[in-house]
Amino acid sequence: MFLRSNKDKKIKIILFSIAIFVNLSMFFYLYASRGQDFFNPLTQGTDQAEYGRIAINLVEHGSFSFSESFPYLPNPARTPIFPLFLSLSYLFTGGFILATLINILISAITAIIVFEIAFLITKRPNLSFVSGLIFVLLPYKIYLVNLIMADTLFVFFFTLFILFFLKMIKGETSFNIKNAILTGGLLGVSVLTRPITQFFIVIPIFVALLLFREDFKKRIFVSALMFVSFIFILSPWLIRNEVHFEEPFLSSVGRYHMYVSYLAPWQAYRDGVSRDEKHREVLRYIDEMYGENAMYDLGASTELSKIAKREILDNPLNYLFFHISSMPVYFLNNDFILTVREAFNIKLPGVYITQKIFSLDFRGLWQSVFSSGIFFIIFFLISYLIVAIKSGLGIIWAFYHIKRNFHLGVFVVLSILYFPLLVGFEGHARFRIPIEPFLIIFSVMAVVNIWSFIQKKCLKLSNENV
């Protein structure tokens, strides 16, 4: 599947080697500048500490728990795949650097998968190589590979799902039982790595039902198989939560964030206060009412979710307008600036362009940018231009591709829109990585086609002048 010719093999070796090199370079930089302790998840951050503690408890106590002492209460917040992945590193080495090195390998393999997706769409190896290379060089992805976060493993499973599903709908492989089970299962594994894709199964089923070249009974059968295999993968975890918490669910994090990440930004927008101010106010309220571990308490997170839903349903149109109009935040968050801040510890002015634009504070944006040093201004403008072109052209060309290849175009557009619709205002650059392959591939296609169009026009004008 992955090797078609010697040229194809050489391209992939080059792409894989570049991916290993850039990721290892970041690894050695972080190791030299931050020390070995940087790769200990217990010292990295909240999410990493939780993943690390669960992995340690799995090895030392056989319990999927965030507790630091007995009794090791079951954790309702995290899904199992990534903590299990970390636990293997801890089991064999007593630490987590091995997990980081395996992450680097997985990231390089993912670049090959992105190349395959690009080739499947374009049938052009050079264009596919450029797409894979841009994906490899995404700055925040390089940094994220070296963190104890589930994103790298999640993107691997999700892109693999995309590859096999695209092969199925484009006729590269049979629209049959084996491939339906495989695609549904891969999506299920991605959900158990990061539950953000728990509703995504609707999209491949919808696209499969639209495949007019297949008879209707076959479309129904294959769609049902995808769904059954998807649920089959999730079922052990759902049963585990039913046993421990008397309710089949994936994670309490989504319920908690319904209040913190959906309701709070909307309240800030309505009340005319800064998002940071409202966020601090909300966290104080949650701590006072439910304690500091509300996210890990199923009852507390469920109650917060109900409060958020009630308030949103009291004024659904206003919230819907806010939610949809905040989607540009997702596509424009600057991963270049974010990487410079977090990976290299360089202090940059706090300019949040999407938030300024969203609040119509253009004067504040102008003052924030142009009151800074010349080097920051240049870096700011160039990096935002790159992000905007990549996202903008990728989205536009994906929509345009619907008339070229209806089923592929619909799947790509729905995939691109799914994540910002689910994420809402919390458009951190790392949340964009799952759809970066599509944004990159279609923006590269747009540039190539625009350039070809310009050349043809110039040639035509030249011939007319002659």
Inter-residue contact 82 to 25 (CB < 8 Å): no
Lowest mean pLDDT among 232-246, 270-284, 432-446: 270-284
The C-alpha torsion from 89 through 104 and 139 to 358, rounded to 10°, is -50
**Position 43 pLDDT exceeds 70:** yes
Question: pLDDT at residue 334 above 90?
Answer: no
Tell me the mean pLDDT in the region 402-418: 93
End-to-end Cα spacing for the chain = 49
Cβ partners under 8 Å of residue 388, min gap 6: 332
Spatial CA neighbour of 158 closest among 440, 407, 431: 431
pLDDT of 352 higher than 60: no
Strand partners, 65: 74
Selected residue with higher pLDDT from 252 and 16 = 16
pLDDT at 423: 82
Q: At what angle do helices 177-193 and 81-93 cross, to 10 degrees?
A: 70
- Comparing C-alpha atoms, which of 402, 405, 426 is closest to residue 414? 402
Judging by beta carbons within 10 Å of its beta carbon (0-12, 13-18, 19+), is residue 146 exposed, middle or buried? Answer: buried
* Model pLDDT, residue 129: 96
Longest CA–CA span in the chain (Å) reads: 87
Confidence of residue 368 (pLDDT cuts 50, 70, 90): low
Cβ atoms within 10 Å of 262's Cβ, excluding its own: 24
How far apart (Å, rounded) are the C-alpha atoms in residues 322 and 335? 24
User: Could you report the per-residue pLDDT of 191-223, keeping only the tens digit for each?
Assistant: 999 999 999 999 999 999 988 777 888 889 999
| Confidence label for 2 from pLDDT (cuts 50, 70 and 90) | low
If you average pLDDT over residues 86-109, what whole number do you get?
Answer: 95
d(CA 104, CA 51): 18
SS (H, E, C) the chain: CCCCCHHHHHHHHHHHHHHHHHHHHHHHHHHHHHCHHHHCHHHCCHHHHHHHHHHHHHHHHCCCECCCCCCCCECCCCCCHHHHHHHHHHHHHCCCHHHHHHHHHHHHHHHHHHHHHHHHHHCCHHHHHHHHHHHHCCHHHHHHHCCCCCHHHHHHHHHHHHHHHHHHHCCCCCCCHHHHHHHHHHHHHHHHHCHHHCCCCHHHHHHHHCCCCCCHHHHHHHHHHHHHHHHHHHHHHHHHHHHHHCCCCCCCHHHHHHHHHHHHHHHHHHHCCCHHHHHHHHHHHHHHHHCCCHHHCHHHHHHHHHHHHHHHHHCHHHHHHHHHHCHHHHHHCCHHHHHHHHHHCCCCCCCCHHHHHHCCCHHHHHHHHHCCCHHHHHHHHHHHHHHHHHHHHHHHHHHHHCCCCHHHHHHHHHHHHHHHHHHCCCCCHHHHHHHHHHHHHHHHHHHHHHHHHHHHHHHHHHHHHC
Averaged over 431-457, what is the pLDDT?
93
Q: How far is CA 319 from CA 60, 176, 406, in A?
A: 46, 42, 32
pLDDT value, residue 144: 94
Distance CA 437, CA 419 (A): 13
Quick one: how far is CA 158 from the chain centroid?
9
Answer yes or no: is pLDDT of 1 > 60: no
Instruction: Indicate whether 3 pLDDT > 60.
Output: no
CA distance 130 to 119: 11
pLDDT confidence of residue 118: 96
Please identify which residue in the block is written with the tokens 């302790």: 37
- 461 vs 119, residue with greater confidence: 119
Span 157-172, average pLDDT: 90
Instruction: Return the pLDDT at 325.
Output: 82
Count of CA atoms in the C-beta half-sphere (13 A) of 428: 8
Average pLDDT over residues 62-78: 88
Average pLDDT on 422-440 reads 87
Q: What does the pLDDT read at residue 239?
A: 96
pLDDT class of 371 with cuts at 50, 70, 90: low
pLDDT average, residue stretch 247-275: 87
Q: What is the predicted pLDDT for the residue at 181? A: 92
Say what percent of the chain tops pLDDT 70: 92
Q: Examine the pLDDT at 229 and tell me if it is beyond 70.
A: yes
- Structural contact between residues 31 and 60, judged by C-beta atoms closer than 8 angstroms: no
Backbone angles phi, psi at 65, to 5 degrees: -140, 150
Distance CA 241, CA 263 (A): 26
Does 109 have pLDDT greater than 90? Answer: yes
pLDDT band (50, 70, 90) for residue 14: very high
Cα–Cα–Cα angle for 366, 368, 372, nearest 5°? 110
Tell me the domain boundaries of the chain: 326-466
The reported pLDDT for the residue numbered 4 is 60
Q: For residues 394 and 171, which has the higher predicted lDDT (pLDDT)?
A: 394
pLDDT at 5: 66
| Model confidence at 380: pLDDT above 70 | yes
74 DSSP β-pair partners: 65
pLDDT of residue 193: 97
User: Residue 326: phi, psi to the nearest 5?
Assistant: -90, -5
